Amino acid sequence: MTTTEISRTRQTLPQVAHARNPGMELDLDWVAAVQANTSAIERRAASLGGRRSVKKDYQAAWLCKAISLIDLTTLSGDDTEGRVRRLCAKARQPVAPWMLERLGMEGLTTGAVCVYHEMVETAVRALEGTNIPVAAVSTGFPAGLSPYRLRIAEIGESVKAGAKEIDIVISRRHVLTGNWQALYDEMREMRAACGEAHVKAILATGELQTLRNVARASLVCMMAGADFIKTSTGKETVNATLPVSLTMIRAIRDYEARTGFKVGYKPAGGISKAKDALLYLALMKDELGHPWLQPDLFRFGASSLLGDIERQLEHHLTGAYSAANRHAMA
């Protein structure tokens, strides 16, 4: 796929080209039957780097595609309105105009901007006139241990403030104790609280102990109506990995085969290099196909990733690597 082909695809595809996942009744027999062959999953993930390699114009095209899939994120305790406004300006113009012109990618933006609830209104104002949605992390992010009624209320406040997507965190204890009914009920209520806003269920996979737990938690959240399943908050010791991603996207594939509904995927945390983004894109295309290379079904939760992609694109155009500080986040 060249930059011209990707640009044409971006212009013609609707933002959401599939029916929203309505969820289904909890099927405990299906959940119990889920297994994960850890050694086979790890071998498959380890093979990706050697099996998929793109160069020159094709690499530039895929990197532009990756930019369009980034949830550009700031989730720091020292966030200010000024920082969020600058981040939104970066989302609107993620790469220098001269580079986009030479690549034939004018109008390229990131997939979304992701912030804490306190900064939702600021981000919404800064993105007026664009189609870039604001995503808010919610439900006691990142631990998800605040009082339940407050977690539900927080979703409503973020939606009221203008967030079009809500990244919620599940209660990990439900997974670790095998209380699938409790996880389903929690996810179902959070989905209802989101209303028209799409909900991304953060599993915090680095804290779920086994890939089987990851697979089962993924399935239960989809049964409860999650629009996306997401690996991590970015605050855990272990965040997105290829084996975890393979486990989750195969759960997505199984869910679509059984129900006919597509669910999105968002790896987050630790994806900071352009070469890593290319591996995830190859994995998605191999396992789920072209529909999951669009913003309505795939996102990267990242911040520093964009800077490295910019550097790689400048190298592609000029033959020289620029200093990282030439591609500041905001």
The values of phi and psi at residue 58, to 5°, are -70, -40
Q: Which of 65, 90, 167, 262 is catalytic?
A: 167
For residue 100, what are the CA distances in angstroms to 7, 59, 96, 111, 302? 11, 15, 7, 16, 21
Annotated active-site residue 79? The verdict is no
Cα distance between residue 18 and residue 44, in whole Å: 29
Cis peptide before 142 (omega within 30 of 0): yes
Active-site residue (options: 227, 230, 262, 308):
230
CA 156 to chain centre: 21
3-class DSSP assignment, residue 262: coil
Select which of 65, 200, 262, 266 is catalytic: 266
Q: How far apart are CA 44 and CA 265, in angstroms?
A: 19
Give the DSSP H/E element, type plus range, for residue 161: helix 148-161
Helix axes 304-318, 274-287, angle to 10 degrees: 100
Long-range pairs for 153-160: beta carbons < 8 A, 24 or more residues apart: 154/117, 155/190, 155/193, 155/194, 156/193, 157/117, 158/117, 158/120, 158/197, 159/193, 159/194, 159/195, 159/197
- Asked if 298 contacts 111 with a C-beta cutoff of 8 angstroms, the reply is no
| Residue 164: active-site member | no
> Which amino acids are annotated catalytic?
167, 230, 266
